[in-house]
């Protein structure tokens, strides 16, 4: 990969079990959780009796020189050299979307290979240290309990909080406080243990680094030619779903984590063969669709998108694919986060998209939901007991909802799933609800009132032209669903209504130069019209292509150094909408020209966080805002930004379009 990632994925399992390196070299800084709170992993190689560090920032030790770093969809590679020895590291999270056992098995591999650089024999002993931060929200929140395990030739250091209060917190800026972490290897003669030590580290809040005394799990092993280490986490309970605690798929029947770890070692060679084949194919397919820079963006987005979800089963045995809205409110199963993310899942397993919609239908059916439009979310991760967004003084406020946004999202998603699977029966089970939502769009989507949309960080906006396009595509989507369910009359009715609204839209939204406005009443303004991309993917021809010619041509003229701004109100943009807008272009060269500045933004940004979808097109920096912490121990604000968000699944839309998987009829 030529792209220098803003942050490098190391362990990517779920929103809690997540470790990244926010630096170019793995020895420049300590590793962190995606929130930037520390999750310290340190590693040293004792070469001929002299210890060198190759993971972490322990400045008391000499450093191995990092000579290479590479990334693909499921792997992160490093190479280090010192004292005549080279070590090659490969972190692997085998996230296959069509294999639920592997997708949810909470185990990340680290394979290390060694070779002599000078032709001489060398002794090499490797040591790992993992801090208690990996199983506590904040260091010192609880006493740590530890255990050394030796079972079936696998040696493990196990640690976790003493009190084990399941699912004891919800929201955005927090880590897990329950469950147990396992640091393991199958190397003969390995030794596991624990050590209490004081390290200088930041705590994620806006304050200087401070000394913190913590427990570390340790693992030591002699290296011959190679070594396999695993990092695993048993959270026991993963999600609370309408007041019932649910386990992850892998342990839905009570499978012990030690069995899962054993299985991970047993099938390592088979898994890695599948990993190599998948990663190679994804890269080649993406290059064909949108060029090498586009392919690298997909490689970086793949693990991030998936690992901000959790897969569980509801009481009916149906899958729930629960997203966390990372660092932007912490909501779970958010509809306008699901909407941009679905291209990835439509490509590799559209059944997961159904698992994203089920919680929303559950909220809609509850007594707490009193509106005639679609909900926004189903809770705050990991607690899903009903919508949490838009409450004020204990009341769910109408003015804080996103009526047109969420109705349009749900209808479009339903149509996309139906086409991708060739089966509209899932929507048939919710047809009464969908009919209500399409009526709402007919009555309110032609010229939306002052309301929020998914780009709510920009505030309320009346007469939003792009939001109206979403309503138009919602009507067309309902027509598709009705047609797939056997009603040709309804299919024609709703698609024709969408076409009529689109022609009317083009008249009311037009600037004098043939481009289209941000809002119907704001002449000489602009915005990305990314919602109309579904017309191209579905092939519904709702908007005559000739009407979009001047609009698309204007996009390249509006480019700043790191991409096109979202609209004329500010210089920031959204990475998902950039790729959706670029997908409107027919020529691959135009798409590549549209996406290249975004590649440059991630390649050069000084903001070392997992891919941010909200960044500035003038300097490439992710947009930040201050938020008060939930933690009563700290009254300081946390400087937050959109990062590690599932919406990066939206980058796969060009590949989805290239494969023509959603063409209707």
| pLDDT tens-place string over residues 234-251 | 999 999 999 999 999 999
Q: Range(s) for CATH 2.70.98 in the chain? A: 8-237
Q: What is the pLDDT of residue 640?
A: 76
Q: State the Cα angle at 16 between 15 and 19, rounded to 5°.
A: 95
Does the pLDDT of residue 124 top 90, yes or no?
Answer: yes
Is residue 79 within 8 A of residue 86, CB to CB? The reply is yes
Does the pLDDT of residue 444 top 80, yes or no?
Answer: yes
- Choice among 161-165, 400-404, 628-632 with the minimum mean pLDDT: 628-632
Which of 139, 145, 131, 157 lies closest to 55, judged by CA? Answer: 131
Q: Which helix H or strand E contains 407, and what residues bound it?
A: helix 403-421
Does the pLDDT of residue 637 top 80, yes or no?
Answer: no
The confidence band for 201, taking pLDDT boundaries of 50, 70 and 90, is confident
Is residue 641 within 8 A of residue 623, CB to CB? The reply is yes
Q: What share of the chain has pLDDT > 70, as a percent?
A: 97
180 - beta bridge partners? 160, 234
Q: What's the CA gap between 482 and 428, in Å, rounded?
A: 9
Is residue 435 within 8 A of residue 465, CB to CB? The reply is no
The confidence band for 203, taking pLDDT boundaries of 50, 70 and 90, is low
**Which tokens is 220 given?**
């030591």
For the chain, what percentages of helix, strand and coil (3-state, to nearest 5) are there?
35, 25, 40
Q: For 106-110, what is the mean pLDDT?
A: 98
Q: What is the pLDDT of residue 641?
A: 86
Q: For 31-43, what is the mean pLDDT?
A: 95
Does the pLDDT of residue 412 top 60, yes or no?
Answer: yes
Does the pLDDT of residue 84 top 80, yes or no?
Answer: yes
Does the pLDDT of residue 507 top 90, yes or no?
Answer: yes
Q: What is the pLDDT of residue 206?
A: 53
**Which tokens is 69 given?**
């770093």
Q: What is the pLDDT of residue 456?
A: 80
Characterize 614-639 residue by residue with b for buried, 16 or more Cβ atoms within 10 angstroms of its Cβ, and e for exposed.
bbbbeebbbbbeebebebeebeeebe
Does the pLDDT of residue 111 top 80, yes or no?
Answer: yes
Residues in the chain: 665
Q: What's the CA gap between 114 and 140, in Å, rounded?
A: 37
Q: For 479-484, what is the mean pLDDT?
A: 98
Q: What is the pLDDT of residue 137?
A: 92
The confidence band for 211, taking pLDDT boundaries of 50, 70 and 90, is confident
Which of 108, 109, 271, 129 lies closest to 194, judged by CA? Answer: 129
Does the pLDDT of residue 393 top 70, yes or no?
Answer: yes
Is residue 342 within 8 A of residue 409, CB to CB? The reply is no
Q: What is the pLDDT of residue 638?
A: 66
Does the pLDDT of residue 631 top 70, yes or no?
Answer: no
Q: For 573-590, what is the mean pLDDT?
A: 97
From residue 461, alpha-carbon distances to 129, 375, 404, 464, 520 in Å are: 51, 19, 12, 6, 11
Q: What's the CA gap between 509 and 253, in Å, rounded?
A: 55
CA max distance for the chain: 80
Q: What is the pLDDT of residue 633?
A: 53
Write down the residue that tokens 């170019």 correspond to: 24
In the β-sheet with 50-55, what is the strand arrangement from edge to edge? 50-55, 41-47, 124-131, 210-223, 191-201
Q: What is the pLDDT of residue 459?
A: 86
Q: What is the pLDDT of residue 250?
A: 98
Which of 451, 4, 34, 318 lies closest to 204, judged by CA? Answer: 34
What is the phi-psi region of residue 239: left when phi exceeds 0, alpha when psi lies from -120 to 50, beta otherwise? beta
Q: What is the pLDDT of residues 269-305, one digit of tens each?
A: 999 999 999 999 999 999 999 999 999 999 999 999 9
Q: Which helix H or strand E contains 53, and what residues bound it?
A: strand 50-55
pTM for the whole thing? 0.96
Number of H helices, E strands in the chain: 16, 28
Q: What is the pLDDT of residue 441?
A: 98
Is residue 99 within 8 A of residue 71, CB to CB? The reply is no
Which of 601, 584, 571, 580 lies closest to 648, judged by CA? Answer: 580
Q: What's the CA gap between 308 and 263, in Å, rounded?
A: 24
Is residue 527 within 8 A of residue 466, CB to CB? The reply is yes
Q: What's the CA gap between 448 and 439, in Å, rounded?
A: 14
Burial level of 106, CB count in 10 A (0-12/13-18/19+)?
Answer: buried
Q: For 588-601, what is the mean pLDDT?
A: 97
Phi and psi angles of residue 463, each rounded to the nearest 5 degrees, phi first: 60, 35
Does the pLDDT of residue 629 top 60, yes or no?
Answer: no
Beta-sheet pairing, 65-71 with 191-201: unpaired
Phi and psi angles of residue 451, each rounded to the nearest 5 degrees, phi first: -160, 170
Which of 294, 302, 343 lies closest to 653, judged by CA? Answer: 343
> Of 2.40.128, 2.70.98, 1.10.12, 3.40.1350, which CATH number belongs to 8-237?
2.70.98
Q: For 549-573, what is the mean pLDDT?
A: 96
Peptide bond into 382 cis (omega under 30): yes
Which of 3, 17, 4, 208 lies closest to 644, judged by CA? Answer: 17
Phi and psi angles of residue 78, each rounded to the nearest 5 degrees, phi first: -135, 150
Q: What is the pLDDT of residue 207?
A: 55
145 - beta bridge partners? 160
């Amino acid at each position: 990969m030529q792209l220098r990632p803003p942050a490098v994925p190391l362990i990517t399992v779920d929103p809690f079990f997540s470790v990244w390196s926010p630096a170019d070299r793995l020895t420049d800084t300590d590793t962190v959780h995606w929130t930037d709170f520390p999750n310290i992993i340190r590693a040293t190689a004792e070469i001929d009796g002299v210890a060198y560090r190759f993971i972490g920032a322990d400045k008391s030790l000499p450093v191995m020189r990092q000579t290479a770093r590479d990334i693909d969809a499921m792997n992160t590679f490093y190479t280090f050299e010192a004292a005549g020895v080279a070590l090659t590291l490969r972190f692997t999270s085998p996230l296959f979307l069509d294999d639920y056992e592997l997708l949810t098995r909470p185990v990340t591999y680290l394979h290390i290979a060694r070779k002599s650089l000078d032709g001489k024999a060398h002794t090499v002993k490797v040591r790992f240290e993992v801090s208690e931060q990996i199983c506590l929200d904040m260091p010192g929140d609880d006493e740590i309990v530890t255990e050394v395990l030796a079972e079936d030739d696998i040696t493990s250091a196990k640690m976790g909080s003493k009190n084990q209060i399941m699912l004891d917190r919800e929201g955005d800026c927090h880590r897990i406080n329950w469950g147990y972490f396992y640091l393991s290897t199958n190397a003969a003669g390995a030794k596991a243990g624990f050590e209490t030590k004081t390290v200088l580290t930041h705590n994620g809040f806006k304050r200087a680094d401070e000394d913190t005394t913590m427990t570390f799990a340790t693992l030591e092993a002699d290296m011959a030619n190679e070594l396999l280490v695993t990092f695993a986490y048993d959270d026991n309970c993963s999600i609370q779903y309408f007041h019932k605690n649910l386990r992850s798929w892998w342990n839905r029947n009570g499978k012990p984590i030690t069995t899962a770890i054993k299985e991970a070692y047993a099938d390592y060679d088979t898994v890695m063969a599948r990993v190599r084949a998948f990663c190679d194919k994804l890269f080649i397919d993406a290059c064909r669709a949108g060029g090498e820079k586009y392919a690298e963006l997909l490689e970086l987005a793949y693990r991030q998108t998936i690992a901000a979800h959790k897969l569980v089963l509801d009481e009916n045995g149906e899958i729930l694919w629960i997203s966390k809205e990372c660092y932007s409110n912490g909501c779970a199963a958010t509809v306008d986060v699901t909407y941009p993310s679905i291209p990835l899942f439509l490509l590799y397993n559209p059944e997961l998209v159904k698992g994203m919609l089920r919680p929303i239908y559950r909220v809609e059916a509850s007594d707490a939901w009193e509106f005639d439009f679609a909900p926004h979310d189903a809770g705050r991760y990991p607690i899903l007991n009903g919508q949490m967004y838009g409450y004020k003084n204990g009341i769910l406020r109408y003015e804080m909802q996103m009526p047109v946004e969420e109705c349009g999202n749900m209808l479009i998603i339903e149509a996309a799933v139906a086409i991708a699977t060739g089966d509209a029966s899932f929507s048939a089970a919710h047809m009464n609800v969908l009919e209500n939502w399409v009526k709402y769009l007919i009555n309110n989507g032609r010229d939306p009132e002052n309301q929020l949309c998914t780009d709510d960080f920009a505030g309320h906006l009346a007469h939003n032209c792009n939001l109206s396009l979403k309503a138009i595509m919602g009507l067309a989507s309902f027509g598709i669903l009705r047609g797939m369910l056997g009603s040709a009359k309804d299919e024609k009715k709703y698609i024709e209504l969408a076409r009529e609204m689109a022609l009317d839209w083009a008249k009311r939204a037009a600037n004098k130069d043939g481009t289209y406005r941000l809002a119907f009443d704001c002449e000489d303004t602009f915005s990305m019209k990314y919602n109309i991309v579904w017309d191209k993917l579905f092939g519904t021809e709702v908007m005559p292509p000739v009407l979009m010619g001047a609009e698309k041509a204007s996009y390249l003229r509006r480019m700043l150094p790191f991409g096109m701004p979202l609209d004329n109100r500010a210089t920031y943009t959204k990475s998902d909408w950039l790729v959706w807008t670029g997908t409107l272009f027919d020529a691959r060269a135009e798409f590549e020209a549209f996406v290249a500045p975004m590649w440059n933004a991630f390649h050069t940004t000084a903001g070392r966080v997992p891919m941010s979808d909200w960044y500035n097109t003038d300097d490439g920096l992710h947009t930040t805002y201050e938020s008060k912490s939930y933690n009563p121990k700290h009254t300081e604000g946390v400087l937050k930004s959109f990062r590690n968000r599932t919406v990066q699944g939206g980058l796969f839309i060009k590949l989805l379009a290239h494969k023509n998987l959603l063409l209707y009829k």
